[in-house]
């Protein structure tokens, strides 16, 4: 029987310690400044590129870790450093996942390197799916892509919102409707190359948290991209649409995932790992504070009311990590998510991050409510995890539908 272990191997520990060192030495000292500036931390991204953390090779190595733990391990350590800066470093990865999940080998080889640039000239990429009237409800998407057969070009029109790196990206991946009659099955993803006319940045959002990460609208006005920029190619799209039409005509369900959901499904455990990193950071600050802060002549951790909170915080963080690791292992092992384990990991870790960071603020008392201590920022940052890449309510819906087999609404 194969040996069962939950311990990282020596190579994984070395990588974890390397990333942790970068997070401690480079990310954390810059966190408060870039949170206040609410700007993309280009110097930090460049430092990450110089040491090899912001690169295609680094993420490929973690992605192909045979245990599945490479990506969640890396995410946890980076987001332990700071969620806003870390999201600026890893935000390109969502667009890259979109290409890997839906693209051809030629598209992967051509476009992913352009998403990252070089250490001397770093670039970022954006994945554009959400719209002003279509966030969790991807079926309400209005951005259209119409094929111009004479020129072998796709013409894109619409507005995307909540796009990480939107408008400042070198490469944008845009999900659009190609056949409105098929609902979510009529969606496809497109690569918008650098400098394409008609693509512009709309409103840049001033956010409650993750303020070092650029979030904006992306406006598409008669954006023309070559036929080769349709992820997966037109032949594959036509075959998928034909199958969807046949099943729709027969009254059957379409099993093929749409382009946006294929990307989100692959990234949910990684988002859970981000939440674990933020929760762990807040817990460690609270634990250290409780050990050193004295009230009535003794450390406040001597009080059960504080000590029990810390015990619960640590237990919940470890439980969240285990759910993330399980889902990550299942994905790389080809195990089907028969109980929506990917959504479970994202749901629980997100909720834990919100709760633990709030408890950390409470343990620090008045100090926790000031920007002199990082838990205030961590608490603001943690709010995003229950919202982006599928709200907690959507995760519960996915889980409920999966375990019941019913079309719960």
pLDDT digits (tens, 9 = 90+) for 60-93: 899 889 999 999 999 999 999 999 999 999 999 9
The Cα 61–Cα 333 span in angstroms is 16
Domain boundary residue, one of 122, 138, 169: 122
For residue 178, the enclosing domain spans 125-250
Same-domain pairing of 198 and 282 = no
Same-domain pairing of 117 and 148 = no
206 domain residue, yes or no: yes
For the chain, state the CA radius of gyration: 22
Token pair in block for residue 319:
């439980």
- pLDDT tens digits for range 102-154: 999 999 999 999 999 999 999 999 999 999 987 777 778 999 999 999 999 99
Please write down the HEC assignment for all residues of 239-254: HHHHHHHHHHHHCCCC
How much of the chain exceeds pLDDT 70, in percent? 95
User: Residue 1 has what pLDDT?
Assistant: 39
The Cα 165–Cα 278 span in angstroms is 21
Q: Are strands 171-177 and 125-128 parallel, antiparallel or unpaired?
A: parallel
Domain boundary residue, one of 122, 151, 175: 122
User: Residue 134 has what pLDDT?
Assistant: 78
Same-domain pairing of 314 and 287 = yes
3 domain residue, yes or no: no
Which residues, at least 6 apart from 154, have a Cβ–Cβ distance to it below 8 Å? 145, 146, 147, 148, 190, 224, 225, 226, 227, 229, 230
Same-domain pairing of 75 and 129 = no
- pLDDT tens digits for range 182-201: 988 999 999 999 999 999 99
Q: Tell me how crowded residue 226 is: count the other CB atoms within 10 A of its CB.
A: 14
Same-domain pairing of 237 and 271 = no
Same-domain pairing of 117 and 147 = no
19 domain residue, yes or no: yes
CATH number assigned to the domain comprising residue 315? 1.20.140.10
Same-domain pairing of 374 and 295 = yes
357 domain residue, yes or no: yes
The Cα 78–Cα 67 span in angstroms is 20
Residue with tokens 């892509």: 145
Same-domain pairing of 157 and 179 = yes
User: Residue 60 has what pLDDT?
Assistant: 87
Q: Which residues are known to be catalytic?
A: 389
CATH number assigned to the domain comprising residue 178? 2.40.110.10
Same-domain pairing of 141 and 93 = no
Token pair in block for residue 113:
């390197």
User: Residue 254 has what pLDDT?
Assistant: 44
156 domain residue, yes or no: yes
Which residues of the chain are modeled with pLDDT < 70? Answer: 1-3, 252-266
Same-domain pairing of 118 and 130 = no
User: Residue 248 has what pLDDT?
Assistant: 82
Domain boundary residue, one of 223, 250, 277: 250
The Cα 165–Cα 78 span in angstroms is 18
Our count of domains for the chain comes to 3
1 domain residue, yes or no: no
Same-domain pairing of 109 and 142 = no
CATH number assigned to the domain comprising residue 114? 1.10.540.10
Torsion, Cα 284 285 290 292, to 10 degrees, reads 110
Same-domain pairing of 350 and 279 = yes
2 domain residue, yes or no: no
106 domain residue, yes or no: yes
């Amino acid at each position: 029987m194969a040996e069962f272990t939950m311990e990282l191997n020596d190579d994984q520990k070395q990588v974890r310690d390397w990333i942790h060192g970068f997070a401690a030495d480079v990310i954390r000292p810059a966190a408060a400044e870039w949170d206040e500036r609410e700007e993309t931390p280009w110097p930090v991204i460049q430092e990450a590129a110089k040491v090899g953390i912001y690169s295609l090779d680094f993420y490929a190595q973690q992605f192909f870790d045979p245990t599945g733990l490479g990506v969640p391990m890396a995410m946890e350590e980076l987001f332990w450093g700071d969620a806003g800066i870390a999201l600026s470093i890893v935000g390109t990865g969502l667009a890259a996942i979109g290409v890997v999940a839906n693209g051809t080998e030629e598209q992967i080889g051509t476009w992913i390197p352009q998403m990252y640039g070089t250490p001397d000239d770093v670039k970022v990429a954006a994945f554009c799916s959400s719209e002003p009237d279509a966030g969790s409800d991807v079926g309400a998407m209005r951005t259209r892509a119409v094929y111009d057969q004479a020129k072998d070009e796709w013409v894109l029109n619409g507005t995307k919102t909540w796009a990480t790196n939107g408008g400042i990206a070198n490469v944008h991946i845009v999900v659009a409707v190609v056949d409105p009659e098929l609902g979510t099955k009529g969606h496809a993803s497109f690569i918008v190359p650098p400098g394409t006319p008609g693509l512009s940045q709309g409103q840049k959002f001033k956010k409650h948290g993750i303020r070092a990460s650029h979030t904006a609208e992306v406006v598409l006005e008669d954006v023309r991209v070559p036929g080769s920029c349709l992820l997966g190619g037109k032949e594959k799209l036509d075959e998928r649409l034909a199958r969807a039409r046949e099943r729709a005509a027969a009254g059957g369900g379409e099993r093929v995932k749409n382009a946006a959901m294929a990307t989100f499904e692959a990234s949910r455990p990684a988002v859970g790992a981000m939440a674990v990193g933020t929760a762990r950071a807040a817990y460690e600050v609270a634990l250290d504070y409780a050990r050193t802060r004295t009230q009535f002549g003794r450390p406040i951790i001597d009080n059960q009311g504080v000590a029990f909170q810390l015990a619960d915080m640590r237990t919940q963080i470890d439980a969240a990590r285990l759910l993330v690791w399980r889902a990550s292992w299942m994905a790389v092992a080809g195990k089907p998510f028969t109980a929506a384990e990917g959504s479970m990991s994202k749901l629980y870790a997100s909720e834990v991050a919100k709760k633990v960071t709030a408890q950390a603020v409470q343990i620090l008392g008045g100090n926790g409510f000031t920007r002199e201590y990082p838990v205030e920022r961590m608490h603001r940052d943690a709010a995003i995890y229950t919202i982006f890449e599928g709200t907690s309510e959507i995760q519960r819906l996915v889980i409920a539908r999966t375990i019941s087999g019913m079309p719960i609404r």
